[in-house]
Chain A
Amino acid sequence: MLILKSVSLFDGDQLLEGTFDILIEKSKIKAIVPEGNKIDIKGARSIELKGTLACPGFIDIHAHLREPGEEWREDIESGSLAGARGGFTTIVAMPNTSPPLDRPELIRHIARKGREVRGAKVLPSGAISKNREGKELAELFGMAKEGAVLFTEDGSPTSNTELLRNALLYTKDLNLKIMEHPEDPYLSNGGQINEGKISALSGLKGIPRSSELIGVERCIALAEELRSPIHITHVSTKESISAIRSAKERGIPITCDTTPHHLSLEESEIIKSDFNPVYKVKPPLRTLEDIEALWEAISDGIIDAIATDHAPYHPDEKDLPFEEAPFGIASLECAVAVVLNEWHNRKQKISIERILRLFTSGPSRILPERYRELGKLKEGGIANITVLDLEKIKKVNASSWVSKCRLTPWDGITLKGWPILTIVEGEVFQIDI
């Protein structure tokens, strides 16, 4: 038995008035009572949390955990522990592994490991096509039965539009979403950074903004025609936001997410850092105007989730000149803090509820129906809880990370607002009070 004492509460949708004590028994939330209505249970462990905020456990629907095949970068266990340290209780692992997660037996393996890990629970996603080649549909039904929670070719877009269309039709009855990485690979071929000011100054090949927009528009066209829902991941430009906003207004069933790095880092960091590859990411870091458009989209509810796109590499793989380094930022352990820190700069304009929904009820609605409860904090629910201290100021210290990858643009940066306690299925995982 565990009692969280005197904590404020966000239930997945809104902040509740007052402070509460939360009683946890085994893996369930037994009771939530207003502070003062004493819960006194002999032998129960209690944690004093005055001044902090309990939320449903945070969900990351987009992380690369590299298992199977590239476990030197990360694996299910290290990713799970890193996620819990960063405030996440559920993580969706991407299928662009080696081999790709394109078969039911591989999904079964990841699903089993993902349930057994100590930290955040890991849910598998499956590839849309066999071997991620974009030629033949993978066994989507079989993978769904084994626990795949969404399908995606992420790492790259679905190369064949007909295949993507067929996948949308095929999964419509499975009630699972296709998650699409929006990019036109011909337009972004060889590109390194956003096409614009910094590509002009540096000579690095630019990725045109239209590359992402064409990917977004393709999703919108297919979702509209088929009335089949699609989720667009790591949206990064104001043009994409504008297209998504207008599609949503027309009632087209699309959802989208963006990332902590696209919400906080400008393309100019690349040149300021003398081409430090920790800033190399796909889609590329954009402009201040794009960052503002993303925050505006958060403010008016156009963005449905924030996902890390945690993309770990071994130091040697990323320790290269910018042009040769792979795309990807590691962030599981500071992603929530990065977003909260940015929110502090904008809190006059955006309520904390907006932000918290993007980590809780928002992503839970992108997952299959049976996971909807993960986005709620309520009596009788699973005891997945993330406790935040919105005022906590702490420096990112990547050398202390449990993730195998410490290549992060925020190392040494001081951030305000941190997760201080993560409880996964009743187990206290991390205390930083």
Chain B
Amino acid sequence: MRVKHRHLLDLRNWSREDIESVLHLAKEFEKKLNHEREKASCLRKAIIVNLFLEPSTRTRVSFELAGKMMGATVINWSNSSSSMVKGESLKDTVWTLEAMGVDAIVIRSRTIGTAAYLAKKLKRASVINAGDGAHAHPTQTLLDIYTLWKRLGSLAGKKVLILGDILHSRVARSNIIGFKKMGAKIIVSAPKTLLPLDLSPLGVQYEPDPLKAVKSADIIYVLRIQRERIKSSLIPSLREYNLRFGCARELLTEASSKTVVMHPGPINRGVEIDSEVSDSSRSIILEQVKSGISIRMAILYLLLKAREG
């Protein structure tokens, strides 16, 4: 299994075949993880830096575990403990890392384009985008696709309802691209203030009423609502949001009994999702988390091996 890419910045240029290569390899890694829980040695010579310039728990730990499970040397580099606090530029930090012989940089930043910027600066190392602002979060999408692929076999013809803050969500943007590549249809539902003014570039259907949207959905993908959206007058209150767009029991009763609920985490219980739903048998949120490790192992392996030629 091979991919032609050196970096994973977003999924725009990744073909369906590329994505399938990742899925198949992830499955192999997952088998090993389940049965042996032994570290592999296939990346034992690799040095991977997790450069997290924005707080994160699950993505950072997931990448750390993925790297370590394959024997790589993994360094966690955070904004607060690095010389970037002293004013060192991102460019200089990255060149420093490359001079130290780093093979891959996993970058999380609140700034759109940071991963693409690093990819242009680096001569040798691979860049993996672990989330850049509201732009892209491709490994989240791959792990979401993987979770669904394992459960449903295929995404072709499936309907995905993405519910919540599409406008500020990197997960929504990446998932729309990735899910569509795998043949799914996307419906979005959210207050208009949390949607791009023009939805047509995203190629999705809009349904203002989630109770209607959910009727045909095979998958409900719930997005997190941040408190700061109230401050910026995009929603009047979390309570009102929960009443209109919250993923609650009433919503699920409108859906097919087979419909599954996903969320990229972290969740706000009682805001975009009620505990009754997030902890129910319909929820596959923890499966998503688990899938993250094998997907990230597959990505690291494919990119670093692709570089070796």
Contacts and interface: CB of A to CB of B under 8 A. Distances in A.
Interface in A332-353: none
A89 B148 CA distance: 65
B116 A274 contact: yes
Interface stretch (B96-104, B130-138, B205-213): B130-138
B198 A197 contact: yes
Interface string A188-208: 000010011111111111101
A198 B134 CA distance: 13
A324 B111 contact: yes
A224 interface: no
Most chain B beta-carbon neighbours within 10 Å: one of A198, A203, A206, A316: A203
Interface string B118-140: 01100000000000111110000
Contacts of B170: 203
A321 B201 contact: no
Given A203-B168, A204-B135, A196 B197 contact: yes
A322 interface: yes
B61 interface: no
A170 interface: no
A200 B199 contact: yes
A323 interface: yes
B117 A320 contact: yes
Nearest to A280: B113
A322 B91 contact: no
Contact of A316 (B89, B113, B132, B135): B89
Contacts of A275: 112-113, 116-117
B169 to A, nearest CB: 8
Contact of A206 (B89, B113, B196, B202): B196
B173 A195 contact: no
A319 interface: yes
Contact of B133 (A198, A200, A208, A323): A323
B112 A202 contact: yes
Given A196-B198, A275-B113, A324-B111, A201 B91 contact: no
Interface residues of B, number: 29
Contacts of A274: 9, 113, 116, 119-120
Contacts of A316: 89
B114 interface: yes
Contact of A201 (B109, B119, B173): B173
Given A321-B112, A323-B112, A203 B117 contact: no
B90 interface: yes
A323 B199 contact: no
B117 A321 contact: yes
A365 B65 CA distance: 68
Contact of A321 (B111, B199, B200): B111
A203 B112 contact: yes
Interface in A234-265: none
Contacts of A277: 113
Most chain A beta-carbon neighbours within 10 Å: one of B109, B113, B133, B197: B113
Nearest to A198: B201
Contact of A203 (B119, B135, B198, B200): B135
Nearest to B168: A203
Nearest to B176: A201
A206 B201 CA distance: 14
Nearest to B91: A319
A164 B253 CA distance: 58
A320 B113 CA distance: 9
Interface in A308-325: 316, 319-324
Contacts of B173: 201-203
Interface in A199-219: 199-206, 208
B240 to A, nearest CB: 24
A145 to B, nearest CB: 44
A316 to B, nearest CB: 7
B119 to A, nearest CB: 8
Nearest to A316: B89
A321 B114 contact: yes
B112 A204 contact: yes
A196 B200 CA distance: 9
Contacts of A202: 112, 135, 173
B113 A323 contact: yes
A324 B114 CA distance: 9
Contacts of A195: 196-197
Given A196-B201, A275-B112, 16 more contacts: A192-B112, A195-B196, A196-B197, A196-B198, A198-B201, A199-B197, A200-B199, A201-B173, A201-B202, A274-B9, A275-B116, A319-B91, A321-B117, A321-B132, A322-B111, A323-B133
30 contacts: A195-B197, A196-B198, A196-B201, A200-B196, A200-B197, A200-B201, A200-B202, A201-B173, A202-B112, A203-B112, A203-B135, A203-B136, A204-B133, A204-B134, A205-B134, A206-B197, A274-B113, A274-B116, A277-B113, A316-B89, A320-B117, A321-B111, A321-B112, A321-B113, A321-B117, A322-B116, A322-B117, A323-B112, A323-B113, A323-B133
Q: Would you list the 4 A-B pairs with minimal beta carbon distance, nearest first?
A: A203-B134, A275-B113, A200-B196, A322-B113
